[in-house]
């Protein structure tokens, strides 16, 4: 089964029918994870709001391990993460969608691996290509008339504050094209569990210092409201095609 992890702006799976709630317990939290199971044209799709029910958990406090574990437990083998980002590259201005191809991880202090305790042997996953090629192609091939940038380096910062202008300049020098706070460790944990993972990023602002304007939540929410429908339409086209795509 394929799952969607919804980020800021996509907290409810209104694009799915026949919704059922499943409370899944994991070894990573006392509380169970609330996974929604629904269908799209008869195809089963799971949905998980990344920031929890009611969108209350900030990026650095999200229990990424519990989220991914719970999805695997209900039978998920592929995940599309929807992430709001700040744009650095000219192709990632507010309202634009991208399917990044690479990641640089600047986060710290997050529980970022399943391979920490009780190991038979030290385990290292290959992360050369952090995103699954087939899932990325599924998104890119279903862009239709939507302007979608089919590449880019996603820099994952710790948050919850936004960056300073100098930090954005450093991210730019590092080769980042867009910045978000939730792409990691999610992508790596999916790889550790053997799940295919890709990111559909929606730019909601220019990164700090790239324009004269301050970044406000009001402005971000306005772009989100305007852009999320297009993202969901693309997502649904991709989900409908999912089984047809080779290797999935
Ligand atoms: N920086 C980091 N994360 C973000 C941004 C940003 O500018 N916009 C949305 N998520």
User: pLDDT tens-digit profile of 54-64?
Assistant: 778 999 999 99
Q: How confident is the model at residue 188 (pLDDT cuts 50, 70, 90)?
A: very high
| Ligand 1 atom nearest to CA at 215 | 7
pLDDT of residue 117: 84
Place of tokens 């199971």: 37
Does the pLDDT value for residue 215 go beyond 50? yes
| Ligand 1 atom nearest to CA at 181 | 3
DSSP 56-117: ---GGG--HHHHHHHHHHTT--EEEEEEEEEE-SGGG-TT-EE---EEEE---SS---S-SS
Q: What does the pLDDT average to over 223-248?
A: 85
pLDDT of residue 186: 98
In three-state secondary structure terms, 168 is helix
Cis peptide bond N-terminal to 185, omega within 30 = yes
Ligand 1 center to residue 96 CA distance, Å? Answer: 14
Indicate which residue's Cα is closest to atom 10 of ligand 1: 85
Task: Tell me if 186 sits within 8 A of 200, measured CB to CB.
Answer: no
> Which pTM does this prediction carry?
0.96
| Ligand 1 atom nearest to CA at 87 | 7
| Ligand 1 atom nearest to CA at 157 | 2
Q: Which residue, among 4, 215, 191, 207, has the nearest Cα to 96 in the 3D structure?
A: 207
pLDDT of residue 120: 84
Q: What does the pLDDT average to over 10-17?
A: 94
Q: How far apart are CA 72 and CA 195, in angstroms?
A: 8
Q: How confident is the model at residue 179 (pLDDT cuts 50, 70, 90)?
A: very high
Does the pLDDT value for residue 13 go beyond 70? yes
Ligand 1 center to residue 123 CA distance, Å? Answer: 32
pLDDT of residue 54: 79
Q: What is the mean pLDDT of the chain?
A: 95
For ligand 1, which residues put their CB under 6 angstroms from it?
84-86, 157, 162-163, 179-181, 204-205, 207
Mutate to test the pocket of ligand 1, among 205, 218, 221 (most ligand atoms within 8 A of CB): 205
pLDDT of residue 247: 45
Q: What does the pLDDT average to over 212-225?
A: 95
Nearest 5°: the CA angle 185, 92, 199 is 30
What would the pLDDT profile of 134-144 be if each residue is shown by its tens digit? 999 999 999 99
Q: Which residue, among 186, 169, 132, 178, has the nearest Cα to 5 in the 3D structure?
A: 186
What would the pLDDT profile of 77-135 be if each residue is shown by its tens digit? 999 999 999 999 999 999 999 999 999 999 999 999 999 988 888 889 999 999 999 99
Indicate which residue's Cα is closest to atom 5 of ligand 1: 86
pLDDT of residue 248: 46
Q: Where are the beta strands (DSSP E) in the chain?
A: 2-6, 17-24, 33-40, 43-49, 78-87, 97-98, 102-105, 148-149, 153-156, 178-180, 196-206
Indicate which residue's Cα is closest to atom 6 of ligand 1: 86
Mutate to test the pocket of ligand 1, among 156, 207, 213, 223 (most ligand atoms within 8 A of CB): 207
| Ligand 1 atom nearest to CA at 206 | 7
Class of domain 2-108+127-246: alpha beta
Tokens of 242: 């999912």
Ligand 1 center to residue 155 CA distance, Å? Answer: 10
pLDDT of residue 244: 52
């Amino acid at each position: 089964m394929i799952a969607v992890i919804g980020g800021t702006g996509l907290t409810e799976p209104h694009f799915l029918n026949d919704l059922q709630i499943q409370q899944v317990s994991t070894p990573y939290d006392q509380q169970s994870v609330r996974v929604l199971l629904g269908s799209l044209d008869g195809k089963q799709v799971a949905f998980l709001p990344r920031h929890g029910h009611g969108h209350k958990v900030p990026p650095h406090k999200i229990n990424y391990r519990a989220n991914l574990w719970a999805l695997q437990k209900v039978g998920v083998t592929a995940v599309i993460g929807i992430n709001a980002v700040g744009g650095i590259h000219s192709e990632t201005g507010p309202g634009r969608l991208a399917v990044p191809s690479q990641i640089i991880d600047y986060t710290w202090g997050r529980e970022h691996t399943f391979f920490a305790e009780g190991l038979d042997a030290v385990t290292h996953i290959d992360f050369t290509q952090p995103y699954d090629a087939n899932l990325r192609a599924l998104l890119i091939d279903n862009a239709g008339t939507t302007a979608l940038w089919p590449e880019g380096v996603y820099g994952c910062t710790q948050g919850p504050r936004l960056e300073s202008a100098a930090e954005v300049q450093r991210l730019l020098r590092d080769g980042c094209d867009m910045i978000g706070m939730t792409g990691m460790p999610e992508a790596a944990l999916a790889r550790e569990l053997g799940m295919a993972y890709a990111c559909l990023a929606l730019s909601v602002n220019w990164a700090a210092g790239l324009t004269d304007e301050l970044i406000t939540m009001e402005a971000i929410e306005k772009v989100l409201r305007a852009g999320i429908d297009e993202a969901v339409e693309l997502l649904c086209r991709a989900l409908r095609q999912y089984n047809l795509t080779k290797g999935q």
